[in-house]
Structure 1
């Protein structure tokens, strides 16, 4: 049986932090991938660390560690990072450079990368919004044959979402998603990833 091996790397949004528990998007993603590719064995490894920053090297260390112990190479690395760096006032240029370094490792190892833009949250702070916009523009514009992106900022808004959907999909802290929200995130990733995998089969 063919194996589809996926590594999900990020911070608390990858870990699935919500209401004192963890419900990672990888749960829904794996279900969707298994439905789309019933003849494949689907493996989704989650490497989500609360509070981690791409500029501090933790993403690189976890990527390299995951690769070093993997039974087989990862076909895809799904990466979401930069939110904590922005909150800690790291320069946009430094965040972008760190993200590119994170992406380059799996690509060099023969994997493909699906990177996500950084979603907004409840607080509206202009300098944070501006920095997020700069980083997200860099994610959208990055060009490599083994790189694709999902505009999570656009696909998972906070302020323009209806109040009913906001209550359903966002945690009460206004920063993380609810369990239903992480499932929705997994669906949105699957909607992008499945055609990409099919195009290469």
Structure 2
């Protein structure tokens, strides 16, 4: 994902540095905030312009309620916004775990994320871009590793989608016409 994101964003006239700090198995209510604060402190001399935030998948898997996860995400977003950065928040993609209860909790959390409003806050409907259900077996095998994590190709699709959305927002802001807060397009069938 980092390679695709950096490649797409390097086509802009600005100098772009991409830092990915996600940890497998991490939860929003565990070490996420600590890492966010550490990264922001390290970047005080050269603060971030944009921070892309995705969190909540593991929290859902461990049985956290959507509103609790959303409250934790709002705290993280608030901390990032206080640094002066703009936020692109990603909602939660599907997984193979598709019980009615899990699907309902993911849907509730995604609606919260996409409907959240704050100055310099943008959301991206990644769920609509990377699907587990509704795609053929060959596509699923290409982009999904184990039903929870993506393959390298899947992460490249994610990186391209996030970079395209971020580029779209930045272009819109520089032209005085920011794009809508949420946009998604199906990309999982690309080869």
TM-score range, shorter chain: 0.7 to 0.9
In structure 1, the residue matched to 2:158 is: 185
Determine the C-alpha separation between the residues in 2 that align with 1:98 and 1:123.
23
In structure 2, the residue matched to 1:27 is: 3
Q: Displacement of 1:28 after TM fit?
A: 0.5
Alpha-carbon displacement from aligned partner over 1:154-187 (angstroms, at most 9, x marks no partner): 111101122221111111x111111011110011
Paired residue for 2:65, among 87, 91, 96? 91
In structure 2, the residue matched to 1:118 is: 92
In structure 1, the residue matched to 2:141 is: 167
Q: Displacement of 1:142 after TM fit?
A: 0.1
In structure 2, the residue matched to 1:143 is: 117
Structure 1: gaps spanning 5 or more residues: 1-24
Q: Displacement of 1:51 after TM fit?
A: 0.9
Determine the C-alpha separation between the residues in 1 that align with 2:95 and 2:2.
21
Q: Displacement of 1:76 after TM fit?
A: 0.7
In structure 1, the residue matched to 2:16 is: 42
Q: Displacement of 1:93 after TM fit?
A: 1.5
In structure 2, the residue matched to 1:105 is: 79
In structure 1, the residue matched to 2:107 is: 133
Give 1 or 2: higher strand fraction.
1
The number of equivalent residue pairs is: 173
Structure 2: gaps spanning 5 or more residues: 175-191
Alpha-carbon displacement from aligned partner over 1:126-174 (angstroms, at most 9, x marks no partner): 1111111111110010011211111111111101122221111111x11
- RMSD of the TM alignment (CA)? 1.2
Secondary structure of the corresponding residue to residue 115 of structure 1: strand
Alpha-carbon displacement from aligned partner over 1:41-74 (angstroms, at most 9, x marks no partner): 2100111111111122x11111110011125100
Give the 4+ runs in structure 1 shifted more than 4 A.
Answer: none
Determine the C-alpha separation between the residues in 2 that align with 1:185 and 1:32.
12
